[in-house]
Amino acid sequence: MATDEVIIFKSINIVNEGTIINADVMVCGDRITKIAPVINASGLEINGMSKYLMPGIIDDQVHFREPGFPAKGNIATESAAAAAGGITSYMEMPNTKPEAITLQLLEEKYQRAAETSVVNYSFYLGATEHNLDVIKSADYNQVCGVKIFMGSSTGNLLVESDTALEEIFKECPALIATHCEDEMTIRNNLQKFKVRYGDMITPPMHPQIRSAEGCYLSSFKAVNLARKHNTRLHILHISTARELSLFEIKDRREKRITSEACVHHLYFDDKNYAQLGNKIKCNPAIKSSEDREAILQGVLDGRIDVIATDHAPHTEEDKALPYLQAPAGLPLIQQSLQLMLYHYKKGSITLEQIVDKMCHAPADIFKIKERGYIREGYFADLVMVDIHDYETIEKDNLLYKCKWSPLEGVTLPGRILGTWVNGSQVYKEGKLLPHKPGKRLNFQFS
């Protein structure tokens, strides 16, 4: 697409900044240049009648598996699936192979994304018990933050030492994102189940092994460290009702401690293990229906700030292994907006709230420059949706590499009609279009 090409969305319902208005939107090059009731200009007109235009979704937690796990996914395949789901920017985790724990390894991921990512991107620097100097030296105008695995990891990325945690929370100049599960609690639970059941542990036991208590203890510890050192903390994938007591109800831009919920913790509960088994095995575990409903209430009242996916693909063969061998994680990046539209259709959340939690909030919390909103002068990251149509999830329409979903056969509301990244349409009604790579996200750190 030429940089001066003009696109005009005509008479479209714009979901943005707490309102829905019917208007025209003009895009020139990579920017939104005008929003008005009627725009009379030359350009490619897109009929928006009865359709909805939203800012592109920003997913603050994904695992794209590159480098190191080519059978599971890579930046090209997983970012294509992101575009198909209306996601125009993502922040990817450091537990690749090798782990992104040095600036050189981190930059290698950025270089690969610059060549192959369909949508915009950023990558977390991984914390270890020994890389504080690296954490302090990164350019956080160019890096989204630091990820600490306070549980659910192995090797260098598992940070268990209280001394190391204290130093990181004290010295890290940027946002810290945490995976919070208390490893001692989980190990003790697992040992009890092994004594009782041997190798016959089954997926329905997963939320008892990776228990609510383990989540709360670790989140409580992270919050206390952040309060002690005035650290900017973002706790990922809240999975229990009890953890909600740790968070405040106030404007997220005034918070030093924020949190995220994932779409699977808002959709599934422990009754689904009987049918889906390891397909919904993830860390932290999907728990009770009471936990699920409490998390949704936390989203609505502002204790939880962001909705994301924690997209974590594994091969179907790996997920078919016995419980103790099967890896944790599930692929949902292509259906995240549709899963939230499911809640909208139930009357549980509004379109404005969905956009706030999936688009505006990540932009605000991570201080992403000129994205996350439909505003004149902002990058034209946009998704057009028919919220009245429905789609049945099937293997044939999945763009991510592992080609399976726990939602196969499920019909969800919403059809993604088109996704635009930096003003260029990259996805249209089931097909990826020829495109330029996405751009590296920039942040207002200093």
CATH number at 40 reads 2.30.40.10
Q: Do 42 and 113 lie in a common domain? A: no
Q: What is the pLDDT of residue 265?
A: 98
For residue 186, pLDDT beyond 70: yes
Helices 183-197/212-229 angle, 10° precision:
170
Q: Do 117 and 169 lie in a common domain? A: yes
Q: Do 42 and 136 lie in a common domain? A: no
Q: 378 with 34: CB under 8 angstroms?
A: no
Select from 120, 91, 55, 22 the least CA-distant residue to 358: 55
| 3-state SS class at 277 | helix
Is 437 within the bounds of a domain?
A: no
Structure-token pair, residue 236: 């990922």
Q: What is the pLDDT of residue 220?
A: 98
Is 446 within the bounds of a domain?
A: no
Q: Do 41 and 89 lie in a common domain? A: no
Q: Do 356 and 416 lie in a common domain? A: no
Q: Where are the beta strands (DSSP E) in 144-237?
A: 146-150, 176-180, 233-235
- What residues contact residue 38 under an 8 Å CB cut-off, 6+ apart? 24
**Residue 257 host element (H or E):** strand 257-262
Q: What is the pLDDT of residue 393?
A: 98
Tens-place pLDDT, residues 47-86? 999 999 999 999 999 999 999 999 999 999 999 999 999 9
pTM (2 d.p.): 0.97
Tens-place pLDDT, residues 131-140? 999 999 999 9
Q: Do 106 and 158 lie in a common domain? A: yes
For residue 3, pLDDT beyond 60: no
Q: Do 316 and 273 lie in a common domain? A: yes
As a whole number of angstroms, the distance between CA 346 and CA 12 comes to 23
Total count of domains within the chain: 2
3-state SS, 54-110, equals: EECEEEEEECCCCCCCCCCCCHHHHHHHHHHCCEEEEEECCCCCCCCCCHHHHHHHH
Q: What is the pLDDT of residue 153?
A: 79
Tens-place pLDDT, residues 328-349? 999 999 999 999 999 999 999 9
In this structure, the number of other CB atoms found within 10 A of the CB of residue 406 comes to 23
- Residue after which a domain boundary falls, among 336, 366, 396: 366
Q: Do 62 and 123 lie in a common domain? A: yes
For residue 1, pLDDT beyond 70: no
Is 1 within the bounds of a domain?
A: no
Q: Do 27 and 63 lie in a common domain? A: no
Q: What is the pLDDT of residue 259?
A: 98
Is 442 within the bounds of a domain?
A: no
| Mean pLDDT taken over the chain | 97
**Residue 275 host element (H or E):** helix 273-276
Tens-place pLDDT, residues 392-423? 999 999 999 999 999 999 999 999 999 999 99
Select from 21, 12, 52 the least CA-distant residue to 416: 52
Q: Do 294 and 421 lie in a common domain? A: no
Which structural domain range is residue 137 located in?
Answer: 57-366
Is 440 within the bounds of a domain?
A: no
State in Å, rounded, how far the first CA of the chain is from the last one. Answer: 33
pLDDT band at 377 (very low <50, low <70, confident <90, very high): very high
- Residue after which a domain boundary falls, among 366, 382, 416: 366
Q: Do 196 and 318 lie in a common domain? A: yes
Structure-token pair, residue 72: 């599971």
3-state SS, 99-160, equals: CCCCHHHHHHHHHHHHHHCCCEEEECEECCCCCHHHHHHCCCCCCCCEEEEECCCCHHHECC
Residues β-bridged to residue 214? none
Q: What is the pLDDT of residue 2?
A: 45
**Residue 224 host element (H or E):** helix 212-229
As a whole number of angstroms, the distance between CA 314 and CA 318 comes to 7
For residue 287, pLDDT beyond 50: yes
- Residue after which a domain boundary falls, among 333, 366, 399: 366
Q: Do 152 and 297 lie in a common domain? A: yes
Backbone angles phi, psi at 330, to 5 degrees: -145, 150
Q: What's the CATH code of the domain at 229?
A: 3.20.20.140
Please compute the mean of the pLDDT values over residues 145-173 and round it to a whole number: 93
Is 321 within the bounds of a domain?
A: yes
Beta sheet of 120-123, edge-to-edge order: 57-62, 87-92, 120-123
Structure-token pair, residue 169: 């929370």
Is 129 within the bounds of a domain?
A: yes
pLDDT band at 154 (very low <50, low <70, confident <90, very high): confident
Is 383 within the bounds of a domain?
A: yes
pLDDT band at 155 (very low <50, low <70, confident <90, very high): confident
